[in-house]
Amino acid sequence: MPELKMRVNGQDVSVQVDPDEMLGYVLRDRLGLIGTKIGCGEGECGACTVLVDGRSVNSCIYPAMKAQGRDVLTIEGLKAGEDGQLHIIQQAFIDCAASQCGYCTPGMIMSAKALLDENPNPTRDEIETGISGNLCRCTGYYQIVEAIQLAARRLAAQRKEESHGG
């Protein structure tokens, strides 16, 4: 089996994978990172979204070997600080009650992260487009969009504080 070397959540990992194995299954089944969910397994629902070199991908259809030498970020890597506090986006999802059954939530949050990294001040339309590949059967999306707006405001405030040395 080929050897896949990549960085996952800031750690170098090396793992034997089947040549046709998809990244989402490697993360879950071989590395134990079960925060990434598999829903449809066909690239339709976004539950399996992770970031590869900062870009969101559907890990259920992303060949694991394509991640060779790349940086992969999963929901487990999305913490703020060493003490394991929740990331601002995660906290905003809690504060806006943007998660119900939670199955879509890791993927939604990773799509939100990719969006806000690229566009820190998105419009409502841009948020809707940013999460258009992520399906949620519970919330009706309203609270999810609110949560991403709240996260954008909090991240902007954090950047401002940091730039003032606070």
Interface residues with ligand FES (CB under 6 A)? Answer: 38-41, 43-48, 58, 60, 99-105, 136-139
* Shortest Cβ 160–ligand FES spacing (Å): 31
- For residue 53, which phi and psi values (nearest 5 degrees)? 50, 40
9 versus 139: smaller Cβ distance to ligand FES: 139
Where do the H-state alpha helices sit in the chain?
23-25, 88-95, 105-118, 124-130, 142-163
**Separation between Cα atoms, residue 9 and residue 120, nearest integer Å:** 22
* Shortest Cβ 125–ligand FES spacing (Å): 21
Contact 54, 114 (CB under 8 A): yes
94 versus 156: smaller Cβ distance to ligand FES: 94
67 versus 83: smaller Cβ distance to ligand FES: 67
Contact 64, 17 (CB under 8 A): yes
101 versus 157: smaller Cβ distance to ligand FES: 101
* Shortest Cβ 85–ligand FES spacing (Å): 22
